[in-house]
């Protein structure tokens, strides 16, 4: 699934090419990609609008429009946004094309048909329940400690809970917990102050590093250019199959399931 680093990369790489451009048409190959409003209203309201800004909130992309409405896109598990010329033929997994002036096409590619688009006046109606942004200055170790107080869920599950903290998913939760030397099944409220400070630092370090490497292409993630990200080459435990060794201590990496999520960790570096 595209997580915060992948969505941030998409935002950064789309920005210079589509901000200031006008929507001239919308082609839908699968109507189910539009969640709100109706398909007819979505297309008619979007056409003629100029994109004034692109922002990210958690795993959501927010395209501000001149009408004061916003196009919100969630790529879900297998979505990508690809920049193409107007003459480019869509492949079989393209579910929508947003046509822009100057012969620019924004192709929404999504093999599993899980991605969603909304056109809304109030972005909080979609993103309002998200937790704090982990890379913002106001996300401090103290804030993380407050949010962990009396939490009885496993820390891995909390890191993947978008209402607890926005943008982190399965693979970066594994990486952050490994960097902080915390077992994924530790209860959130059991972490010491030192562990919380290590986890806070690890979250930010892991995310910034992945952004610097343009996201992780472990499955279906592509950058807008169609190129792959390289963040997965830096992974220490995430997506490492059974039999792989810990890069720190050479212990076998283990895989367990935490709240229905495959979870990778080192049993020696991250003791229970």
Q: Which helix (H) or strand (E) holds 74?
A: strand 70-74
Closest CA to 214 of 202, 231, 233: 231
Is 2 annotated as catalytic? Answer: yes
* Choice among 50, 255, 261, 268 that is catalytic: 261
Closest CA to 25 of 117, 129, 104: 104
Q: Where are the alpha helices (DSSP H) in the chain?
A: 4-18, 39-46, 124-127, 141-148, 155-160, 170-180, 193-212
Distances (CA, A) of 190 to 180, 186, 187, 269, 270: 14, 7, 5, 18, 14
* Choice among 3, 6, 13, 69 that is catalytic: 3
Is 259 annotated as catalytic? Answer: no
Instruction: Please list the residues that pair with 200 across neighbouring strands.
Output: none
What does the alpha-carbon distance between residue 144 and residue 60 come to, in Å, rounded to a whole number?
22
Distances (CA, A) of 5 to 72, 93, 205: 17, 23, 11
* Choice among 2, 154, 184, 224 that is catalytic: 2
Closest CA to 117 of 97, 138, 132: 97
Is 154 annotated as catalytic? Answer: no
* Choice among 57, 59, 186, 198 that is catalytic: 59
What does the alpha-carbon distance between residue 60 and residue 133 come to, in Å, rounded to a whole number?
12
Token pair belonging to 70: 């916003």
**DSSP code per residue over 98-119:** EEETTTEEEEEE-TTS--EEEE
Closest CA to 22 of 66, 60, 87: 66
Is 92 annotated as catalytic? Answer: no
Catalytic positions are: 2-3, 59, 261
């Amino acid at each position: 699934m595209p997580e915060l680093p992948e969505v941030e990369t998409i935002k950064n790489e789309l920005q210079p090419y589509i901000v200031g451009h006008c929507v001239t048409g919308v082609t839908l190959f699968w109507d189910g990609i539009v969640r709100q409003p109706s398909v007819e209203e979505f297309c008619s309201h979007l056409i003629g609008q100029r994109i004034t800004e692109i922002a990210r909130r958690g795993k959501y992309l927010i395209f501000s429009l001149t009408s004061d409405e916003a196009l919100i896109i969630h790529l879900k598990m297998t979505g990508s946004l690809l920049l193409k010329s107007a003459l480019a033929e869509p492949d079989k997994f393209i579910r929508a094309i947003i046509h822009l002036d100057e012969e620019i096409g924004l192709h929404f590619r999504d093999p599993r048909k899980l991605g969603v688009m909304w056109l809304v006046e109030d972005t909080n109606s979609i993103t309002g329940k998200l937790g704090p942004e982990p890379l913002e200055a106001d996300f401090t170790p103290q804030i993380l400690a407050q949010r962990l107080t009396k939490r009885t869920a496993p820390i891995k599950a909390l890191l993947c809970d978008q209402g607890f903290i926005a943008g982190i998913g399965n693979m970066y939760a594994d990486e952050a917990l490994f960097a902080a030397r915390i077992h994924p099944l530790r209860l959130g409220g059991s972490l010491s102050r030192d562990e919380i400070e290590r986890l806070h630092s690890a979250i930010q370090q892991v995310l910034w590093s992945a952004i610097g490497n343009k996201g992780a292409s472990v499955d279906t993630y592509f950058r807008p250019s169609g190129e792959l990200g390289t963040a997965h080459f830096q992974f220490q435990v995430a997506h490492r199959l059974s039999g792989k060794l810990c890069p720190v201590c050479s212990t076998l990496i283990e895989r367990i399931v935490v709240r229905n999520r495959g979870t990778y960790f080192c049993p020696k570096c991250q003791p229970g």
